[in-house]
Structure 1
């Protein structure tokens, strides 16, 4: 089912068991921020970027290495080399996604990001070394930036798709089919938002972090929250701007988030995550966040 109707979605999703697949990935991969810089094309529709800010490539590399070390405590984590010609490649989850036995390649909006999909090493890793089947969405007409635009509840087989500059309805349908989901709920992002994974995150299929201010229609956010209640952390716009919503659970008892995102959370919100069985595990990423994305954006999950 693919729907924009909050009531229809909620009625269907509430009847689903968490038996669609593993709630957390079995491994992850990153792409190093070689030649770290801010991409002008991406800044055109990413309000979290400021082209006037100076960046430190070496500091970004050091923070990225720290991120890999931290994630390796949670699950096997590999890192591919970056390329200064693709400055946004450190956010590979927009371009590459996986489902069991499948590698999905997204249809990126900006040419500077479309080049990332040509990487023979990443594609060969999955199709050759891992034996995955490749599903290339670049030829279909819809724009779809994979798990940037779509937040996936892997346990239930649900997709939450934020429509805007970087994902349209045709792209949402293509992702729904490629990931083989049971249902996808489509909603418009608020003006100025570029990806759904900045405004919400589903944690291991049993908890939700969400900022209603990132949705054009409050009813859409309310329907999603109702599905995961009471294990819901509701963010303010300021917390969202600090990337508190750009978090991920790579194992069933830990939430990875940037240090800035963690610092923005109130004690009661941290306690709510603990009540849901999650410890907060922050990683310093303030240099990388100057590029308009944070921890979850850096992580391409392998299922």
Structure 2
């Protein structure tokens, strides 16, 4: 099923067992913020970026190394070198995604990001070393920045595609087919939002973090909350701006979020995560967040 009808999607999704595949990745990779800078093209449709802010490349690199060390306590993590000519490359989950035995290469909107998908080292790691099949969505119609634009519930085989400048319906359909998903819900992001993974996250297939202000239609939020109830954490606009929605569960009992995002949560919201069986494990990323993304954006999952 691929639909824009939230209620029809809910009826379909409620009948699915969480047996599509592992809820969490078996490994992950990062790309170092070498030559860390703010990309002007990306700032044109990323309201979380401010080009007037000074950045500290050394501090960004130190925070990124600390992030890798923290994530390595959850699962195996490797890090590819960065490319100063591709300053947004430290957010590899937009250009690359995986399913068991398959590497997806995304079709990026901005030329400054399109060069990331050309990297022979990342593609060769999967195709030549791991023997993964490659699904190059750049050969398909539409734009889709993979798990930036589309949030995936791996346990149920469901996807939530936030349509906007960086993902259109054709691109979402191409991702749905490449991953062999059971269902995809198409919805419009609110004006000014660039990626679905900033306004929501599905944690290990059993909990939902969601910012209603990031959606054009309240009915979509209501349906998603109903599907994952009672483990639903509703974010305020300020909490969304602190990147609390840009979180990830790389194991079934721990949520990774930036320190700013975690600090923005209330005690009641933290209790929702605890009731769902998650420990909240924040990592300082304020320097990296100046580039308009946060912890989840830095992590490309390996299934």
Fold agreement, TM-score > 0.5: yes
Distance in 2 (CA, whole Å) between partners of 1:143 and 1:225 is 27
Superposed, 1:18-57 pairs within 5 Å as: 18-57=18-57
- C-alpha offsets along residues 203-228 of structure 1, whole Å, 9 cap, x if unaligned? 00000000111000000111111100
Superposed, 1:90-239 pairs within 5 Å as: 90-239=90-239
- C-alpha offsets along residues 117-174 of structure 1, whole Å, 9 cap, x if unaligned? 0000000000011110000000222000000000000000000000000000000100
Distance in 1 (CA, whole Å) between partners of 2:80 and 2:37 is 18
- C-alpha offsets along residues 8-48 of structure 1, whole Å, 9 cap, x if unaligned? 00000000000000000000000000000000000000000
2:13 is aligned to 13
Distance in 2 (CA, whole Å) between partners of 1:152 and 1:139 is 22
Distance in 2 (CA, whole Å) between partners of 1:56 and 1:252 is 34
Deviation at 1:99, TM superposition (A): 0.3
Distance in 2 (CA, whole Å) between partners of 1:178 and 1:237 is 33
Q: Secondary structure at the match of 1:297?
A: helix
Could you list the runs of 4 or more consecutive aligned residues of structure 1 that deviate by over 4 angstroms after TM superposition? none
1:66 is aligned to 66
Q: Provide structure 1 residue ranges, at least 5 long, that are not aligned to the other structure.
A: none
Q: Secondary structure at the match of 1:89?
A: helix
1:246 is aligned to 246
Q: Secondary structure at the match of 1:88?
A: helix
- C-alpha offsets along residues 32-72 of structure 1, whole Å, 9 cap, x if unaligned? 00000000000000000000000000000000000000000
2:81 is aligned to 81
CA RMSD in angstroms comes to 0.3
2:278 is aligned to 278
Distance in 2 (CA, whole Å) between partners of 1:257 and 1:52 is 25
- C-alpha offsets along residues 254-285 of structure 1, whole Å, 9 cap, x if unaligned? 00000000000000000110000001000000
Q: Secondary structure at the match of 2:282?
A: strand
Distance in 2 (CA, whole Å) between partners of 1:230 and 1:33 is 38
Distance in 2 (CA, whole Å) between partners of 1:150 and 1:224 is 14
Q: Secondary structure at the match of 1:138?
A: helix
Distance in 2 (CA, whole Å) between partners of 1:274 and 1:50 is 34
Number of residues paired by the alignment? Answer: 303
Q: Secondary structure at the match of 1:244?
A: coil
- C-alpha offsets along residues 165-219 of structure 1, whole Å, 9 cap, x if unaligned? 0000000100000111000000000000000000000000000000111000000
Q: Secondary structure at the match of 2:139?
A: coil
Please state if 1:291 is matched with 2:297: no
Distance in 2 (CA, whole Å) between partners of 1:199 and 1:215 is 8
Q: Secondary structure at the match of 1:85?
A: coil
Distance in 2 (CA, whole Å) between partners of 1:253 and 1:199 is 22
